[in-house]
């Protein structure tokens, strides 16, 4: 640390330039703070950042991303390296949050790795989106499926043809913590709706990513009864995507949650030893070489989709794709918006005949089995806390903000009101 002996001195010649007293004091303060502060990890196996999963279940988990992956996502893609004149210098625009992997990896880290420019919007605005592309001069934008849905539904703008953006990148198949990764860089219509392409050469040389045959009855990977090993899914046969774990040093674990980390790992898959990570996603490899997600009717017939759904929602296997397919086939269903923004398991439906709600609901029962969520807490032995339940007020006259009480009136649950409570007290209600 350096300090002037005479605070009244005008300047000090140091490191090739003149330093004033105030500049020197400020520099020594920063130097001391740097020496005392935490140093960033230098090894590839050290944690570089924490990223939360999307939280489809409502319980997002933090993933400890290693520096190794941050280096990988900062490396130029082959498609960019092969056509530098077209795609570089890179100017990327994103309105996604930085805690989203697409924005952090494909935006910030990738732009840094290519010495490009990265423009981050404060929030998403469908009406000003193309105007922001013009203002930033971006040649590339990042997207997710929900974002595109809003963009195509907005009115035309004078900025739609005025921007310089020639590439949109996003919806890459890879979970936050996932090893399995598929890319779809194609200009052909055949690639629409697909997640990747794997021809004979790719299949022969592939050592890390596979589609393993899945057993819906056990909700796990299928294993041969004699050998005890898993089996590769055949062409046009659903299979769960799995990825080989080469080293746990570089594996992205759930932060401070070893149980959740272990739940996604499976050993002795195709041979004794070795370790693979399960994705929970059911994919299908077509004979043409394209890899895609399963379609709704295929899911209904096979009983598979995202295998982690039942574990996430603690209920029976509720397939979003299957629900969407059934809803779209019903005669009275006019408009469907599958899922609710930011929360899975809900759907907004517009009926052609709003008065036919009962008939519409009755059409669902033969096609979709019932699912339930455990909203009532249980004891350590999984029994109902009778003392607590008995103490809850049932009368609708008592203001209770914490609980909503329903009763089974025929085939429908209805909220308990004054009239229904009177029938219950008189013993006229069927309970």
Residue with tokens 């004078």: 158
Alpha carbon 261 to chain centroid, angstroms: 16
For the chain, give every domain's residue range. Answer: 1-39, 74-170, 315-373, 386-425
For the entire predicted model, the pTM comes to 0.59
Q: Give tens-digit pLDDT for 76-122.
A: 988 899 999 999 999 999 998 888 888 899 999 999 999 999 999 98
What is the C-alpha separation between 356 and 358, in angstroms, rounded? Answer: 6
Ranges in the chain, pLDDT < 70: 1-22, 24-25, 28-41, 54-59, 295-329, 331-348, 365-393, 397-403, 430-431
Adjacent-strand bridge partners of 351: 333
Model pLDDT, residue 344: 47
Answer for the pair 327, 355: CB distance below 8 angstroms, yes or no. no
What is the C-alpha separation between 197 and 295, in angstroms, rounded? Answer: 17
Model pLDDT, residue 1: 40
Adjacent-strand bridge partners of 94: 120
Q: Give tens-digit pLDDT for 174-207.
A: 777 878 877 777 777 888 778 888 888 888 888 8
The DSSP line for 145-174 is HHHHHHHHHSPP-TTTTTS---EEEE--B-
Model pLDDT, residue 121: 92
Model pLDDT, residue 260: 85
Q: Which residues contact 118 (CB under 8 A, 6 or more apart)?
A: 92, 94, 107, 108, 111, 112
User: Tell me: domain 74-170, CATH 3.40.50.980, correct?
Assistant: yes
Q: What is the 3-state secondary structure (H, E, C) of 80-128?
A: HHCCHHHHCCCEEEECCCCCCHHHHHHHHHHHHHCCCEEEECCCCCCCC
Answer for the pair 29, 9: CB distance below 8 angstroms, yes or no. no
How large is the greatest C-alpha to C-alpha distance in the chain, in angstroms?
Answer: 97
Model pLDDT, residue 416: 82
Q: Which helix (H) or strand (E) holds 336?
A: strand 333-340
- Which has the closest alpha carbon to 98: 49, 64, 139? 49
Structure tokens at 265: 């790992």
Residue with tokens 């080989």: 244
What is the C-alpha separation between 53 and 300, in angstroms, rounded? Answer: 28
């Amino acid at each position: 640390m350096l300090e002037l002996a005479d605070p009244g001195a005008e300047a000090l010649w140091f490191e090739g330039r003149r330093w004033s007293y105030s500049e020197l004091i400020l520099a020594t303060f920063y130097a001391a703070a740097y020496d005392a502060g935490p140093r960033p990890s230098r090894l590839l196996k050290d944690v570089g950042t924490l990223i939360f999963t999307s939280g489809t279940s409502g319980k997002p988990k933090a993933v400890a991303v290693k520096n190794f992956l941050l280096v990988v996502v900062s490396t130029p893609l082959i498609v960019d390296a092969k056509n530098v004149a077209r795609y570089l210098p890179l100017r990327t625009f994103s309105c996604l949050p930085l805690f989203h992997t697409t924005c952090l990896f494909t935006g910030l880290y990738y732009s840094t790795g290519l010495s490009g420019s990265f423009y981050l919007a404060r929030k998403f605005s469908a009406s000003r989106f193309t105007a922001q592309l013009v203002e930033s001069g971006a040649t590339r934008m990042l997207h997710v499926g929900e974002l595109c849905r809003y963009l195509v539904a907005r009115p035309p703008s004078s900025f739609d043809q005025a921007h310089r953006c020639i590439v949109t990148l996003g919806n890459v198949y890879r979970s936050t913590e996932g090893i399995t990764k598929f890319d779809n860089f194609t200009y052909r219509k055949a690639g629409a709706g697909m997640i990747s392409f794997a021809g004979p050469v790719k299949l022969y040389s592939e050592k890390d990513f596979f589609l393993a045959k899945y057993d819906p009855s056990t909700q796990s990977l299928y294993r041969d009864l004699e050998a005890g090993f898993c089996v590769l899914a055949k062409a046009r046969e659903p299979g769960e995507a799995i990825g080989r774990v080469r080293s746990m040093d570089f594996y992205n674990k759930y932060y401070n949650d070893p149980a959740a980390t272990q739940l996604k790992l499976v050993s002795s898959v195709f041979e004794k030893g070795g370790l693979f990570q399960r994705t929970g996603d059911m994919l299908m490899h077509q004979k043409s070489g394209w890899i895609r997600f399963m379609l709704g009717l295929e899911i209904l017939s096979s009983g598979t989709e995202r295998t982690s759904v039942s574990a996430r929602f603690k209920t029976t296997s509720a397939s979003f794709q299957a629900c969407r397919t059934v809803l779209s086939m019903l005669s009275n269903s006019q408009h469907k918006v599958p899922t609710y923004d930011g929360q899975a398991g809900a759907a907004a439906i517009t009926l052609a005949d709003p008065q036919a709600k009962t008939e519409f609901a009755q059409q669902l029962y033969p096609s979709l089995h019932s699912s339930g969520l455990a909203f009532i807490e249980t004891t350590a032995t999984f029994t109902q806390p009778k003392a607590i339940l008995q103490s809850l007020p049932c009368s609708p006259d008592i203001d209770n903000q914490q609980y909503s009480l329903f009763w089974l009136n025929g085939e429908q649950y209805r909220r308990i009101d004054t009239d229904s409570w009177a029938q219950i007290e008189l013993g006229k209600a069927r309970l």
